[in-house]
Amino acid sequence: MSEIVKPAGRGRWLQLAFGVVCMCMIANMQYGWTFFVNPMQERHGWDRAAIQVAFTLFVVTETWLVPIEGWFVDKYGPRIVTLFGGLLCGIAWVINSYADSLTVLYIAAAIGGTGAGAVYGTCVGNSLKWFPDRRGLAAGITAMGFGAGSALTVVPIQAMIKSQGYEAAFFYFGIGQGVIVMLIALFLRSPAKGQVPEIARVSQSKRDYKPSEMVRTPIFWVMYAMFVMMAAGGLMATAQLGPIAKDFKIADVPVSLLGITLPALTFAATLDRVLNGVTRPFFGWVSDHIGRENTMFLSFAIEGLGIYALSQFGQNPIAFVLLTGLVFFAWGEIYSLFPATCGDTFGSKYAATNAGLLYTAKGTAALIVPYTSVLTTMTGSWHAVFLAAAALNIVAALLALFVLKPMRAAYTKKREASLAPVLAQ
């Protein structure tokens, strides 16, 4: 067995790297969106809330179709699903470049969401299969590609939008990102049975639960509710960062930090993406050592406090940059902690499908995003939105420690007791 595991140890890190590259290539589809909202509004006169419906459609299709795409991954492997996803991602942004109506924009969003979900679900699910002994770290590194992958293109995309128009940015970045995903997809594969180690510091399932079994457990729905609460605030910040900075009248105010001077929005967007990526492997690694729920409580509480502070001090350009960075740092880890907890609880065999079902919570949360613009218009400020998001984060933090943790402990104890007679034989 040790002779089999050694080469897998080298090969699985290469598989992880392939997944990270794919995730980097689809990151702009979510995190780069905020730069296109104002230019589209100015060009076509579309209402901001109507434009953000496209973002919601993207996230809904990106998440709610992942269980189906995950089923294909579990059955046929990661290669074909990622190829398909990369193609759709490229097509979606090309359509965006020609969209002259909201209907076309919405169609492109649905196509892009389907493609991005195929890539995202495949890469995260594959990392859980290759690293059953380090699920938190592996899921975190993979999700880091999605969280931080757009950081290097913040300035180029903004520059192209200003010099050639947002249509050119959609067109050229769309083609480039799609082609790279399709090329990397050719090298993806799943591990063979017995090819990876099974030892971990955290409690893990002794058997593999089918998706139909998983959705009948209360633990799944507690995690689902927590995921929705956490995703809502972060998605609001992701989609509305540009409009928030504009309404705060600080978007173009120069900010100097660490010897770097950039407009507040550009600085915030770049820093946010870096921290949103770094947090995923960091908190994933932490959770491998101190437990998933303890890590959830810590990070969720930090984000709640960060969002509240942003509502109070965000109109200061420096505070805006630093506090949005804190919010994204404490938010991005949900994309490593929840898949890892799902894998620990329900096993590896159906990891892509099971994690995909849990990931649909992000789509549910995305339904809230357009209403943040409506609420802001009704109240005349972002204050109510910030307070609601902060409250959801604090509730999720408390649920992690006082509901999910004892529930999973009792579930594990009961499961091991039921398996004891079988293992004794």
pLDDT digits (tens, 9 = 90+) for 364-395: 888 877 777 777 778 777 778 888 888 999 99
Residue among 271, 284, 308, 309 nearest 392 (CA): 308
| Domain contains 138 | yes
Most confidently modeled of 36-50, 292-306, 356-370, 405-419? 292-306
Arithmetic mean of pLDDT over the chain: 86
| 92 plus 131 within the same structural domain | yes
Q: Is 75 buried (19+), middle (13-18) or exposed (0-12) by CB count in 10 A?
A: exposed
| 386 plus 242 within the same structural domain | yes
The domain containing residue 367 runs over which residues? Answer: 209-414
**DSSP 8-state code for residue 151:** G
Q: Which of 121, 149, 184 is the last residue of a domain?
A: 184
**8-12, 32-36, 181-185: which has the minimum mean pLDDT?**
8-12
Mean pLDDT of 257-267: 89
| Domain contains 250 | yes
* 360 to 280, 283, 414: CA distances (angstroms): 19, 21, 28
| Domain contains 178 | yes
Query: In whole angstroms, what is the distance from residue 153 CA to residue 159 CA?
Result: 10
Query: In whole angstroms, what is the distance from residue 62 CA to residue 109 CA?
Result: 9
| Domain contains 3 | no
| Domain contains 2 | no
3-state SS of 76-119 is HCHHHHHHHHHHHHHHHHHHHHHCCCHHHHHHHHHHHHHHHHHH
In three-state secondary structure terms, 248 is coil
Each residue of 114-134: pLDDT tens digit?
999 999 989 988 888 888 888
| Domain contains 73 | yes
Q: How many domains does the chain have?
A: 2
Each residue of 69-110: pLDDT tens digit?
888 888 888 999 999 999 999 999 999 999 999 999 999 999
Mean pLDDT of 57-63: 89
Is the pLDDT confidence value at 419 over 60? no
**196-200, 378-382, 420-424: which has the minimum mean pLDDT?**
420-424
Predicted pLDDT at 170: 94
| Domain contains 423 | no
Predicted pLDDT at 422: 46
Predicted pLDDT at 91: 97
| Domain contains 203 | no
